[in-house]
């Protein structure tokens, strides 16, 4: 059974940087990260969970939520079975719980309902 575990959250000042990691485990023998769409989703207090950065199974396509374009980068280490979210120039509105998730293709990148496997989340607070 595929399992995801996030790490790297914390408190950071506006303008700062943070990198989140998500370790995948429980792949079957014929699967790895290239078998899945991967995504980072964010849930701010009182808000719906939204996709902020997603990558196709081939790695050829990425999608970023408009407010994070140019500041956030999604990446993956296939050998390590880990995905990352590199976040720069953080703003208070980036505050929330960040979840990594996996979806079996085909489908639409960053469409939340397509993602069936989720981590428990890691909290990011951007505040001075």
The predicted model gives 114-124 an average pLDDT of 97
The H or E element spanning position 55 is strand 50-55
Rg (CA), the chain: 14
- Mean pLDDT of all residues belonging to the chain: 96
On the question of pLDDT at 106 being above 90, the answer is: no
pLDDT digit string, tens, across residues 47-104: 999 999 999 999 999 999 999 999 999 999 999 999 999 999 999 999 999 999 999 9
The predicted model gives 97-119 an average pLDDT of 94
């Amino acid at each position: 059974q595929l399992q995801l575990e996030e790490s790297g959250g914390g408190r950071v000042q506006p303008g700062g940087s943070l990198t989140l990691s998500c370790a995948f485990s429980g792949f079957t023998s014929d699967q790895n990260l290239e078998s899945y769409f991967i995504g980072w989703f964010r849930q701010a207090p009182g808000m719906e969970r939204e996709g902020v950065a997603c990558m196709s199974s081939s790695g050829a396509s990425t999608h970023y939520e408009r407010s994070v374009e140019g500041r956030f980068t999604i990446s993956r280490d296939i050998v390590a079975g880990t995905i990352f979210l590199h976040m720069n120039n953080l703003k208070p509105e980036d505050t929330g719980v960040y979840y990594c998730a996996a979806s079996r293709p085909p489908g639409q990148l960053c469409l939340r309902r397509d993602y069936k496997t989720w981590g428990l989340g890691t909290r990011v607070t951007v505040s001075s």
